[in-house]
Amino acid sequence: MSALEKLLAWPARDYDRYARALWTAAEIADATGGTASGPFQVSGVEMDSRDVRPGDLFVALKGEAMDGHKFVDKAIANGAAAVLVEHPVDWPHVLVEDTTKALKALAACARERGAARVIGVTGSVGKTGVKEAIFTALDRSCRGAAHRSVRSYNNHVGVPLSLARMPGASAYGVFEMGMNHAGEIAALTTQVRPDVAVITTIAPAHIENLGSEEAIADAKAEIFAGLEPGGTAVIPADSPHFERLKAAAHAVGATILSFGKDRQADVRLLDAVPSANGGSLVTAAMGDRRLCYTVAEPGEHWVANSLCVMAAVHAAGGDLGAAGLALAEMGGLKGRGARHRIPVAGGNALLIDESYNANPTSMRATLAQLGHTPAGRRVAVLGSMKELGDFSDAFHAQLAEPLAAAEVDYAVLVGPEMISLARELGKVVNNPLGKPLRFAHCTDPGGAISALEEYGLVAGDAILVKGSNSVGLTRLVSHFAAREG
């Protein structure tokens, strides 16, 4: 065999022997205890008829306000190959008693079949970005045989749906788990049964429901309860709750792999310097190894995220070289760092889309990154941070300091919770440059759009848009990004 033939010859994989169809009618019926109307195969699983693609299985879920059975015909019209239902229909289907329970049963079967190494990801900040980075790193090294939960499908419906979509031939599965209350991750992790459980960081997100950061750490640590025997817990060494997380991992017999700047971290940051593309050049220690790689995403928080990714990939038995290449090539996700060049007076402005979520920690991190972004003027559009309860006023008012440190020229505050920050900014005469910090307080995204239009964006501006998803700042992003050429 020539050198070229050796290069082109892919090694055989154990998981190549699995069927290429995602599910057959018989497999769905066996997994769910249902009855199939006849033979069929499906290539995907979907619960929203609007998102159905040709070949999908449409699961007609029943909720408090909506019944998916009303959309069976629409799902078929959109190309569904079959449906999972609680009463007979004229289309190919599997009949079950309860579609929600059936989806969980299908998820359990998907987790059981095959030989995928499964990684579960949770945390107060950065879990979706870290999940995507881990997936991209593993997918690169296994020739497209990695699977992950899409978007933020991380709740009691999204997790089993994501599991049910995992092909039997998968080499890796990466699943995000979220929560608003204690006990929710415990229910999800027993479905995912991760080989590697990752906690990105602990921050006061959902503190309204949990009361303290310690309680948040305990709720996130529930992910360890589902670890497979011999599993690994990946935890942040720099967190003030490190010992708490470590104790929870030890309690289930997990191997612990820590990451961060701390001298005792297993994946330890040695150096990070700005790179030419706005990201970072990172050097880290992993035992007696030295890892050198580029992170395309800007900001110190992504340096920390990259250490977490390297730890998770190592724990899963993945290729660290491929992980470094993946981090160098990753772009920002929609709502989580995507960057748009929008035409404005005199040229282009940079719009940074962080509109999907916000808490005090992530707000400070993204404002700090805005402060390091080269710009003629810096503009911050900040939406309310939700689920902070009695801590809300204080956390919002405290954003005055990172706004000033980032040398923001104009701030647009959106939502009723932002009134405390507006009051605080009204007390501040000057920022570090000696210029007044102009701001506007709006009730909704429409008002924020008008405020920006009135301010007059010009070439060289950098505009950060960040807030909790329910504030609706995606509308503002879409309004300005639609101009992108």
* Judgement on whether residues 196 and 128 belong to the same structural domain of the protein: yes
Domain identity same for 170 and 219: yes
Same domain, 72 and 198: no
What is residue 207's predicted lDDT score, i.e. its pLDDT? Answer: 76
CATH of the domain at 38: 3.40.1390.10
Shared domain for 174 and 78, answered yes or no, is no
Residue predicted with more confidence, 441 or 365: 441
pLDDT digits (tens, 9 = 90+) for 330-379: 877 777 788 899 999 889 999 999 998 888 988 998 999 899 899 999 99
- Domain CATH for 467: 3.90.190.20
Residue pLDDT, tens place only, 81-92: 999 999 999 999
Entry pTM: 0.82
Could you tell me if residue 108 is inside a domain? no
> pLDDT tens digits for 131-178?
999 999 999 989 899 999 987 788 999 999 999 999 999 999 999 999
Instruction: Examine the domain organization and report whether 224 and 125 are in the same domain.
Output: yes
Instruction: Note whether 158 and 297 are same-domain residues.
Output: yes
Looking at the structure, do residues 280 and 378 belong to the same domain, yes or no? Answer: no
User: Do 95 and 119 belong to one domain?
Assistant: no
Output the pLDDT for position 434: 54
Q: If we measure between CA atoms, which residue out of 439, 391, 398, 392 comes closest to residue 417?
A: 392
pLDDT at 438 > cutoff 80 = yes
pLDDT higher than 50, residue 120:
yes
Domain of residue 124, residue span: 114-329
Question: How much is the pLDDT for 430?
Answer: 45
Closest CA to 237 of 261, 215, 218: 261
Same domain, residue pair 268 and 286? yes
Among 300, 329, 358, which residue terminates a domain? Answer: 329
The string of pLDDT tens digits covering residues 183-229 is 999 999 999 999 999 999 998 876 777 789 999 999 999 999 999 99
Neighbours of 332 (CB within 10 A): 18
- Per DSSP, the residues of 190-205 read HHH--SEEEE----ST
Report, as an integer, the average pLDDT of 311-315. 98
CA nearest neighbour of 366 among 350, 352, 376: 352
Claim to verify: residue 293 and residue 252 sit in the same structural domain: yes
Out of 99, 134, 156, pick the residue that ends a domain.
99
Residue 155 lies in a domain: yes
Q: With 60 as the cut, is the pLDDT of residue 20 above it?
A: no
- Indicate whether 12 belongs to any domain: no
DSSP 337: B
The verdict on 349 and 470 lying in the same domain is yes
pLDDT at residue 331, rounded to an integer? 77
Contact 266, 259 (CB under 8 A): yes
Rounded Cα–Cα distance for residues 68 and 78 (Å): 14
Residue entry with tokens 């899409």 = 150
* Per-residue pLDDT tens digits for 75-116: 999 999 999 999 999 999 999 999 999 999 999 999 999 899
Taking only the tens place, the pLDDT of each residue in 410-434 is 999 999 999 999 999 988 554 454 5
What's the number of CA atoms in the CB half-sphere (13 Å) around residue 359?
Answer: 18
At residue 18, the pLDDT reads: 43
**What is the number of domains present in the chain?**
3
Q: Are residues 304 and 387 in the same domain?
A: no
- Which CATH number covers residue 160? 3.40.1190.10
Q: Looking at residue 10, what is its pLDDT?
A: 52
